[in-house]
Amino acid sequence: MQLYSCICSIRPHLERIVVLIDRFGRQIHYLRLSVTDRCDLRCSYCMPEGFKDFEAPANWLSFDEIERVVAAFARLGLQRIRLTGGEPLLRKDLPVLAARLSQLPGITDLSLSTNGTLLARHAQALRAAGVSRLNVSLDTLDPERFVAITRRHALDRVLLGLAAAQEAGFAPIKINMVMTEGIQDAEIDAMVAFCMERQFVLRLIEVMPVGDTGRRTVAVSLGPVQQRLREKFGLVGGIVSGGGPARYLVSSDGRCRIGFITPISQHFCETCNRVRLSVDGTLYLCLGKNDRVDVRAVLRGGCSDQELHQLLLDAIQQKPWRHEFSDRPEQIVRFMSSTGG
């Protein structure tokens, strides 16, 4: 309470104040905001085929509640929001929420992670609402393998969504390709060529042991993949992204940019700048740990703004130093879709 009062008294005299700094000195300025745990795909590393144990709508944070939490975060220094799921475009009227969040003081970047199946329908509205960047999950360009991974025939819809996103003016558009056992070099090279031709940024991601599905999926270490792509495409440098966990390499002509997200083979916890808020109002402080805070209960208990600020400040101090994917992979029983990407 005392800290919040102090912040309020000095904030008018400062252009920016940042107090979301955890006990390890990391500045937390990025919120992954899940608006639904539902998804229209059933990717083998994410959610079981017949899974139906979704959060009841009564437990979802409303748009008003979401806006209140994000505004409180922003007053404490948060700058970046990524809308996630599940598949966030399944949440009714998502562009309306996006517009509300993009106009909040202090929020300088609003982006969206999507599987792309509904993107053609919503791209223009999302862009108009203030969403500026997209991450689109696309693990393969091969129709049969796409069905094997996602258990759905939807590749054509994803490709149409990507075309619609470019037409709407989204840039950059990042393609997230999860690396699973059995993937062939030719398949990766085809994705690189696809992204180069369309000026997408490709990001290769190691599978994380989140939930039974994640643990059952054999992860592919990106070290050897990175070395092969370095040689084949003349990739140089070691560009570290300022916003997320990817470490980027780029070709000398700038046409090819590939990010590598390596939570297993080379963790990036020392630079972690994010927390996750699930659709039911649970604030997860680390994707690979169980540290959490129930924000919904406080909101619906009639908390004041001061109490909400203090809750968030206290929560950030509980953020652990690093995940334990390698040491204790069995501890995360929730599925990725319920946490938020």
- pLDDT, residue 13, reads 36
Strand 274-277, strand 282-284: pairing? antiparallel
Give the largest Cα separation in the chain, rounded.
Answer: 60
- pLDDT, residue 10, reads 40
Distance CA 285, CA 279 (A): 15
Burial environment of residue 12 by CB neighbours within 10 A (0 to 12, 13 to 18, 19 or more): exposed
Distance CA 281, CA 293 (A): 8
Residue 93, SS3 per DSSP: coil
Closest residue by Cα to residue 2 from 19, 24, 21: 19
Question: What number of residues does the chain have?
Answer: 341
- For residue 244, CA distances in Å to 206, 240, 248 come to 15, 9, 11
Do the Cβ atoms of 260 and 249 come closer than 8 Å?
yes
Query: Which structure tokens are listed for 231?
Result: 């040689």
Closest residue by Cα to residue 238 from 314, 227, 148: 227
Query: Which structure tokens are listed for 123?
Result: 């791209």
- pLDDT, residue 287, reads 78
pTM score, whole prediction? 0.89
Low-confidence stretches of the chain (pLDDT beneath 70): 1-18, 209-219, 238-243, 265-268, 322-338, 340-341
- pLDDT, residue 40, reads 95
- Domains located in the chain, CATH noted: 2-9+30-339 (3.20.20.70)
Q: DSSP labels for 151-218?
A: SS--HHHHHHHHHHHHHHT--SEEEEEEEBTT--HHHHHHHHHHHHHHTPEEEEEEPP--HHHHHHSP
Closest residue by Cα to residue 265 from 238, 241, 247, 291: 247
Query: Which structure tokens are listed for 313?
Result: 């400040």
Distance CA 31, CA 72 (A): 12
Q: DSSP labels for 112-169?
A: EEE-STTHHHHHHHHHHHT--EEEEE---S-HHHHHHHHSS--HHHHHHHHHHHHHHT
Distance CA 167, CA 159 (A): 13
- pLDDT, residue 33, reads 97
Do the Cβ atoms of 131 and 110 come closer than 8 Å?
yes
- pLDDT, residue 207, reads 82
Do the Cβ atoms of 20 and 73 come closer than 8 Å?
yes
